[in-house]
Structure 1
Amino acid sequence: MRLEHLRSFEAVVRRGTFTRAAQELFLTQPSLSRQIATLETDVGTPLLERGHRGAVVTEAGRALLPIARRMLADAESARLELDELAGLRRGRVRLGAPPTLCVSLVADVLAEYSARHPEVELQVVEAGTLALMRQLQEGEVDLAVAITREDALEAEGAELVPLLREGLVVASAAARAPLVPEEITLAELAEVPQVAFNRSYDLRAATDRAFASRGLRAAIAVEGAEMDAVLRFVERGIGVAVVPAMVVVDRPGLRSSRLVDPELDRTVNLAYRSGVQLSAAAEAMRELVFETVLRTELPGVLRLDR
């Protein structure tokens, strides 16, 4: 199997049609079709079927797709590594992280990395932990910051290094601080209007489970927002929000209250693929993440030994 044929196959699956894939790859449709046909001959079975609404992946194609993505990612990593070894001062790091960490830990890491290595291209993928782990396993990101709670995370083919344990706090508008005590129970919180995250957020699912386990129903002022919008709504006094402790740092418009009875927390991990050598640029990012965590001294955040 040739890499260019795998690249064409992956593009058709991702874009959904031969036409859009050919445009992305700067190929004519007949050339793209010939590459796919050659690949199907090599593997001995059809991988794609043309339908009225585009290309449909066969069962064999679904099996090949993650393998193809890993092979393409490994080839790209090898190219970048050789560029670095040749002294071309080129590189790229693809870091995945949940939105709740992109506004805290990840932002600090990226700022420091850019200052140290301005020649390296940085790509950030914001997604939930499960989606990030899939992308990591398929080689679409080099490193991922993953969230775990009580349940073990399925991480086949990946190494997870615990970084820190972060408590969840109740964020409220600083101008309305007297309305929210320094400590608040889950039962008391249920009576306070809340700004709730989009249901796709792991943080939203965790808080919903906590309320349900106590037989409580939260008073929702507004829901469905993303991280930046949630924080702005809270600053305007629309409601309070349950957020990770690090999110409230350096935000003068917000104050935090400890959530007690029960206390809720999460573990922040750094994940990377098992048995795969990181590029020099990605290795520098990995070490900087560890270095940044070692410097972290915040209320509600406990560093974990590596």
Structure 2
Amino acid sequence: MTLKQLIYFLAVADTGRFVQAAAEARVAQPTLSRQVQALEDDLGETLFTRGRDHVTLTSAGETLLPLARRIVADVETARLEIAELADLRRGRLRLGATPSLCVSVVADVLAVFHDSYPGISLQISEGGSQDLVTDLEDGQLDLALVIHQADRFTTTGGNGGPLPAGSLRGRAGSAPGSSAHAGGTLGLTPVLREELVAVSATAGHAPLDDVLGDHAGIAEIARHPLVINRPGYELREAILSACAAAGVTPRIAVEGGEMDAVLRMVERGLGVAIVPSLVLAGRSGLRTTRLDGSGWTHRTIALAHRTDVSPTRAAEAFRETLLAVLARTSRTGGLPPGVRFIHPGA
């Protein structure tokens, strides 16, 4: 098995056609076909079911696919790590973040990072924590800002070492469909603690806080039409779990969409939503109600990385930049209401 064979295998898997895969890999189609056949011979399994105009993965191919992606990604990371030896004048940072962070602190941190390291290419992936953790485990991301789930991570402190057990508490239990990293655990650096709030439109239907007052429990909120994110978002799972624990069934008015879409739907009076306080800056069309309850009404934001490979220098530089920007913003009172900086070294 060679790296070239895995690259050709991924090209065929992604395109579904040997001819198109050869074009993307910039190699003659017979050469690519021979290399894929050699890989199949070496493994003793057929990786593709070959049709007249299209190919599909066999069970063996589906098993190899995520492993091949990780191997190729790790090799590319090794190449970039060598290139970064020149004082971070070149390189790449692949950062994942939840939608609530992409519309708040991430842009500010990236602006400072880009000013300090203009030669580093920035690639940003936006998604729910579950999706980002999967991409991080598969080697598609260098770092990810995610919502902490206690059983998925090894928590790391200011010096990168493990924190004492129980020093950071998160929502227990992995979300449905999650899987442990094949090569080990993920490292975690807690950075922010944020409050969840209920939001409603300021015009049109009666505002939520006119009905519920300044505070409301999940049972009261569940009586109103709810706008909620698509599956894959930790916030969605937290809301539904809170409803289940309270013995209520939410009335979902709109299901799906990223954070900006959810907020816009609420502004238009389609329903109420439970969102992180981080996303409310500049949203004059929304009114807020604080949540009664414990455990689920606050959450921890953490910077996650793989522990089975060394972080790139660009990733280390971003971590330092992130902590410095958040610490400075916290000292100057620039964090939104309901958000606080909690890095252990602060």
Normalised-by-shorter TM-score class: 0.7 to 0.9
Q: 1:145 to 1:22 in 2, by over 3 A?
A: same
SS in 2 for 1:275: coil
Q: 1:280 to 1:145 in 2, by over 3 A?
A: same
RMSD: 2.7
2:37, 2:45 → 1: CA distance?
10
Letter in 1 for 2:217: T
Letter in 1 for 2:324: E
- Structure 1: which 4+ aligned runs deviate by more than 6 Å? none
Which residue of structure 2 lines up, in the alignment, with residue 218 of structure 1? 250
Which residue of structure 1 lines up, in the alignment, with residue 197 of structure 2? 169
Please tell me whether the aligned partners of residues 129 and 232 of structure 2 are also in contact (alpha carbons under 8 angstroms): no
For structure 2, the residue ranges without an aligned partner over 5 or more in a row are 150-169
Alignment: residue pair count: 306
TM-score (norm 2): 0.78
Question: Alpha-carbon deviation of 1:110?
Answer: 2.2
1:273, 1:11 → 2: CA distance?
25
Q: 1:54 to 1:292 in 2, by over 3 A?
A: farther
Please tell me whether the aligned partners of residues 267 and 285 of structure 2 are also in contact (alpha carbons under 8 angstroms): yes
Letter in 2 for 1:285: F
Letter in 2 for 1:231: L
In terms of fraction of residues, the more helix-rich structure is 1
Q: 1:26 to 1:132 in 2, by over 3 A?
A: same
Q: 1:255 to 1:53 in 2, by over 3 A?
A: farther
1:185, 1:283 → 2: CA distance?
41
- Structure 2 residue corresponding to 1:287, chosen from 311, 314, 320: 320
Which residue of structure 1 lines up, in the alignment, with residue 341 of structure 2? 303
Which residue of structure 1 lines up, in the alignment, with residue 188 of structure 2? 160
Which residue of structure 2 lines up, in the alignment, with residue 182 of structure 1? 214
Aligned pairs for 1:232-243 (under 5 A) are: 232-243=264-275
Q: 1:16 to 1:132 in 2, by over 3 A?
A: farther
- When structure 1 is superposed on structure 2, of 296-305 and 139-148 the one drifting more is 296-305
For structure 1, the residue ranges without an aligned partner over 5 or more in a row are none
1:178, 1:12 → 2: CA distance?
55
Question: CA deviation digits over 1:162-181, x for unaligned, max 9?
Answer: 32332211122355576363
Which residue of structure 1 lines up, in the alignment, with residue 171 of structure 2? 150
1:70, 1:247 → 2: CA distance?
33
Please tell me whether the aligned partners of residues 209 and 287 of structure 2 are also in contact (alpha carbons under 8 angstroms): no
SS in 2 for 1:85: coil
SS in 1 for 2:124: strand
TM-score (norm 1): 0.87
Q: Percent identity?
A: 46
- When structure 1 is superposed on structure 2, of 249-258 and 31-40 the one drifting more is 249-258
2:320, 2:30 → 1: CA distance?
46
